[in-house]
A = this chain, B = another copy of it.
Amino acid sequence: MNIIKGFPATSQDYQLNVTNLLKHGARNFGRQEIVSRKHDGSLFRYTYNNAYERVNRLASSLNLLGIEIGDKVGVLAWNTYRHFEIYFGIPGTGAVMLLLNLRLAPQELSYVVNHAEAKLIFVDESLIDVAEAIAPLCKRVEGYVILTDKALNDISTSLTPIYSYEDLLSETTPINNWPNLDETSAYSACYTSGTTGRPKGVYYSHRDVYLQAMMYAANASISINDCLFQIVPMFHVIGWGTPYAATLVGAKLVFPGKYSLNDLKELTEILIQEKVTISNGAPAILMPMLEYIRKMDPKPDLSRTRFISGASEPPIVMMKGFWDLTRAEIIHSYGSTEAHAIVTLNRVTPVLDKKLSEEERWDLKRKQGYIVVGLDVKIVDEFGNELPHDGESSGEILLRGPWVSGSYYKAPGSEVQFTEDGYFRSGDVGTIDSDGFLKITDRLKDLIKSGGEWISSVDMENAIVSHPSVLEAAVVGCPHPKWEERPLALVVLRDELKVNKEDIFRHLAEKFAKWQLPDEVLFVNTILRTSVGKIDKKFIRENYKDVYSKM
């Protein structure tokens, strides 16, 4: 879109870069606490002031290691206070922080490192094996900085050369003059996990990060009285935006360190002990946490806690479960790599609060929510015509806004994902109702085409997980000799609960026409998810591609 210059203003030319953001936090909230769980389970505690001092040292170290403006520096790390320091230290120098998803396969991870031409990689001690697996494939990487409490001599690795993060910090003096970075400079690079083709690089600007932080604090009412427990991995889309929002307003920060589903007890204890008020996670972690809480006696009081739940639609049973057992609120948020974290937040507006019944309110909470400040969102039909906000008309969701991608980095052919008037084509399909609430009905590629008619796999998954005995469900379209595609349902049951196929069919028949019902329901032990916590439909479709052709 053509930008029109108006009359000149008299404002200063001040840059929205993250150095200014962190300085603000340190200056105003220097004594605020930052807590970080170490590998041994103990809690490390320091303050924004301490963190700022160390970030100043980190920036000096990077300069000494020869990192220059525009260089890319990778990070393979869990959510820790060091990762938090790195969030500011690397980009503040003018280098670009490359987010590395530690769950990617070596082929994919090395592709990302090489595509971005990373010069240096920060590696958590416990992830050295991940780095070692890609090192032979990443010849341009000039060194590895190890995040560890140990002495460098005690680290055994084939990586070379290696540096100790702590030694670098202690052996240098804090930086004197941060560069005054143009706000449109790249802050970090995040590669989409590539459900189709190779991973594609999204390079966020400093301005993106700063504005998202302000927007998030405003939209989710995050304040200095909050305590953020950063469960979402910080290598995902900037941890879905919460770390910066919390820093901006001086909220207390808590980092869980390395964790898995085996650590639910410790995570839940931290929630309680540290008086967490805001946290975040995909249903893939929140559902098991709820299962853990179900077994606790007495139940914890989490009435002051709100969880931002993303990656996929939170099942009502999960939201109700948290509410009934702990009084914690689950707030659904929808986003994507290209939208730089979040697009919507589901908060019940006062107007709706008055007119909805309790059941309707729960149902509303399943929607993706209203569109956050700063974004233009429209839904369009296949010809690009904008569709009405009637809650019925369903079309592809297009996004525009200050922190939305306008292109992919060096990805020829990817231009088709952007419209001429500057929107990003999300590939998601949805409706917007007259209250402005967005509802994702499907991914374009997750719609099932049966005999010329469309079936929504997402609707069907939601219907299946609403059965009290079901923990997880995935529905995909599988090739069918007669109908082109037919739905297949994979179902994971709750512990010790027994249902059969017929129960599932009966349950679905309440909401779906007979022709829409899956031809087959398979009970499985687990449903594979991608590295960002979404159901891996690509894998499932591939795995079951012959299920109906053989029938």
A contact residues vs B (CB 8 Å cutoff): 1-16, 20-21, 23-24, 27-32, 69-70, 72, 94, 96, 179-182, 184-187, 201-208, 211, 214-215, 217-219, 221-225, 248-250, 252, 340, 347, 349-351, 370-371, 373-376, 389, 400-409, 422, 424, 434-436
Contacts and interface: CB of A to CB of B under 8 A. Distances in A.
A5 B185 contact: yes
Given A10-B202, A14-B402, 15 more contacts: A2-B180, A6-B186, A8-B185, A9-B187, A9-B205, A11-B203, A11-B204, A12-B424, A13-B406, A16-B402, A28-B371, A29-B351, A32-B349, A217-B217, A221-B221
A7 B70 contact: yes
Contact of A248 (B14, B27, B218, B424): B218
B6 A94 contact: yes
A11 B349 contact: no
7 contacts: A3-B181, A10-B203, A14-B400, A14-B402, A27-B389, A28-B436, A32-B351
Given A214-B218, A351-B31, A9 B184 contact: yes
A166 to B, nearest CB: 27
B186 A7 contact: yes
Contacts of A434: 30
A24 B185 contact: no
A409 B10 contact: yes
A419 B432 CA distance: 50
Given A4-B181, A69-B4, A351-B32, A405 B12 contact: yes
A179 B10 contact: no
Nearest to A377: B27
A249 B214 CA distance: 12
Contacts of A248: 218, 373
Contact of A225 (B15, B350, B406, B435): B350
Contacts of A27: 371, 389, 436
Nearest 10 Cβ contacts at the A-B interface: A6-B185, A9-B205, A217-B218, A12-B406, A28-B436, A7-B70, A214-B214, A7-B186, A14-B402, A9-B186
Nearest to A47: B351
A288 to B, nearest CB: 31
A143 to B, nearest CB: 20
Given A24-B373, A349-B250, A374-B24, A7 B185 contact: yes
Nearest to A27: B436
Given A11-B402, A69-B6, A214-B214, A28 B370 contact: yes
Contacts of A24: 371, 373-375
Contacts of A179: 4
Contact of A249 (B32, B219, B224, B435): B219
Contacts of A182: 3-6
B404 A12 contact: yes
Contacts of A400: 12, 14
A140 B303 CA distance: 62
Contact of A10 (B7, B222, B351, B407): B407
A375 B219 CA distance: 21
Contacts of A222: 218
Given A31-B435, A185-B5, A224 B371 contact: no
Contacts of A11: 184, 203-205, 207-208, 340, 402-406
